[in-house]
Structure 1
Amino acid sequence: MTLQAWWLFLVTVSLLSATPGPNMMHALTRSVQVGFRRSTFAMAGCISALLLALVLSVIGIGAVLVAEPRLFSAIRYLGAAYLIYLGIKAWRARDGVGLAREETPSRQESGLSLYRTGFLVGISNPKLLLFAAAFFPQFIDHHRPVLPQFAILVVTYLCSDCFWMSLYGLGGRSLSRFLERASVRRAFNRLTGILFVAFGIAILRARA
């Protein structure tokens, strides 16, 4: 892999990471809800899911999903259902305090719970496996050792996602100052709910 190919990969994944999606929206809403510092547990869950998906794609699981459309469909439906569930939960939050209210110490979610939810959000889109399986080889020089090149691409992707997720999280911390009014919190929760449901529907409508 040449330096030029790496730069092209970096620019491409940076644009992909910057685009609002389930992971970035989850980082933002968790930061609003529990504060930036504790939202890093959720971000770590999203990043862990991304790492797992990239590693699985490298070892060929993406090809398996292509060969087994029923398995892919089952995973896709589960992932979409989870995103839609999060959207409904946000929409129905009582008095608009669900995702947009910092929790009191006695009701704080544990770091493990935040991490687990972030991981489930991150792993809920199985098309990431197919994307990585098809996208990564475009930047690999097969005349050189392949594994070190894959490692560089995976680390680059993870660093890009961490950077943008942190920016979204910091944006959530700033946004929380404007969510003191119940009506504004309610609007924010419902907008978040609509976006998560839209992500879920998009996964259902997308062709494998």
Structure 2
Amino acid sequence: MTLSVWLTFLVATSLFSMVPGAGMISTVSNALNGGVRRAAINLIGLQLAIIVHLSVVVIGLGALFSSSPIAFDLLKYMGAAYLGYLGIQRFLTAVTVQDEMPLASAKVNYWQLIREGFFINLMNPKSVIFLTAFLPSFLNMNMPLNTQYLILGVTVVVMDVVVMLNYAYLANICRKYLINERFLLMQNRVFGVLFILMGIFLVALKH
């Protein structure tokens, strides 16, 4: 893989990460609720799921998954159900300003945030199909494939982290000026609806 090919992949991956999706909604929602630190904890789960997707693609299961309507639909409906559950939970959550203190005193613990992020990304069939179709086009078959997959995989994760942290920082800037119970309740409802809409979008997604 040449430098120019890698730079092209870098730009393409960055643009893909910038496209609004469930991961971005989760990042912004957590940043508005509890600041950048809370969003960063959630981001660990999001990236662990991406690593799982990358591993699936590298060992060849991505192509098998992409060609199996049953596997695709199963993951799609599981993902839609989970997003719907998160949306309803977020919509119905009551907040007070005291709840939105630093993460150490917040009601949501580290593992819950990581788990939430992990399953949001894990049960997104679009990600697996995209990586299955996308990664091989940047490989040089005359060079060691494992090394190239490692470089591309690290690039995907790092760029997604950079993009999501930028979303989190921007949301945190807004949060500083909007930290009141009325806004927090409103944003919980807005993001709850967005999670539900993302679930509906997944259901409508065709193989």
Give 1:168-187 correspondences, 5 Å limit.
168-187=167-186
1:148 deviation in Å?
0.9
Amino acid at match of 2:178: L
Residue in structure 2 matched with residue 114 of structure 1 by the alignment: 113
TM-score normalised by L of structure 1: 0.89
**2: CA distance, partners of 1:85 / 1:26:** 13
Kept in 1, the 8 Å contact 2:37–2:103? The answer is no
Residue in structure 2 matched with residue 75 of structure 1 by the alignment: 75
Residue in structure 2 matched with residue 124 of structure 1 by the alignment: 123
Residue in structure 2 matched with residue 51 of structure 1 by the alignment: 51
1:47 deviation in Å?
0.7
1:130 deviation in Å?
1.4
1:62 deviation in Å?
1.4
Counterpart of 1:35 in 2: which secondary structure?
A: helix
Kept in 2, the 8 Å contact 1:58–1:150? The answer is yes
**2: CA distance, partners of 1:102 / 1:60:** 45
Q: Deviations over 1:144-191 (max 9, x none)?
A: 111111111111111100101111121232222233333322322222
Gap regions ≥5 residues in structure 2: none
**1: CA distance, partners of 2:20 / 2:79:** 17
Residue in structure 1 matched with residue 60 of structure 2 by the alignment: 60
1:27 counterpart = 2:23: no
1:201 counterpart = 2:197: no
| CA RMSD after TM alignment | 2.1
Amino acid at match of 2:28: L
Kept in 2, the 8 Å contact 1:33–1:102? The answer is no
**1: CA distance, partners of 2:140 / 2:176:** 49
TM-score normalised by L of structure 2: 0.90
Single out whichever of 120-129 and 30-39 deviates more from structure 2: 30-39
Gap regions ≥5 residues in structure 1: none
Deviant stretches of 4+, over 3 Å = 100-107
Kept in 2, the 8 Å contact 1:61–1:129? The answer is no
**2: CA distance, partners of 1:88 / 1:14:** 30
Residue in structure 1 matched with residue 160 of structure 2 by the alignment: 161
**1: CA distance, partners of 2:23 / 2:129:** 18
Amino acid at match of 1:158: V
Aligned pairs, how many?
206
**1: CA distance, partners of 2:159 / 2:193:** 26
Single out whichever of 185-194 and 5-14 deviates more from structure 2: 185-194
Note closer, same or farther for the CA distance 1:134–1:68 as it changes in structure 2 (3 Å cut): same
